[in-house]
Amino acid sequence: MASENVIEFTDANFDAEISASEVPVLVDFWAPWCGPCRMIAPLIDEIADEKKGSVKVGKVNVDDCPGVASKFRIQAIPTILVFKNGEKTGQITGLTSKADLLSKI
C-alpha cells in the first residue's frame, strides 16, 4: 500500500474497524495478482489522502482474508464496499472512476 492513510483490514480487525468508525468507510477488496486492482490502487490512495479524517479507507487482501471476503460474498475483484454507521451502503465491482467512488461515500 502506497498511502500511509490506507488501513489494512483483516479477518481479525475488520468488524471492529467498521463498527467503531464515526466516519464513512471505503473498503477495497483486492489481490496482488489482480491487474485491475493494481490499476485502481492509485485512486484508493488519493481518496485516502484527500479525505483523511472524513473517510476511513482500507484494503482487504482476499487471498489473506477469506473470511471477510466470504462474509460479503466477494466474487470478483476489485470490489469496493462503502459502510456508514457499520452498515453497507454501497458497492462497486470492477474498474471505476474516482468520481464514482466519491459519489458512493
Positions marked active-site = 34, 37
95 Cβ neighbours under 8 A, 6+ residues apart: 36, 39, 40, 78
For residues 84 and 75, what is the distance between their CA atoms, to the nearest angstrom? 22
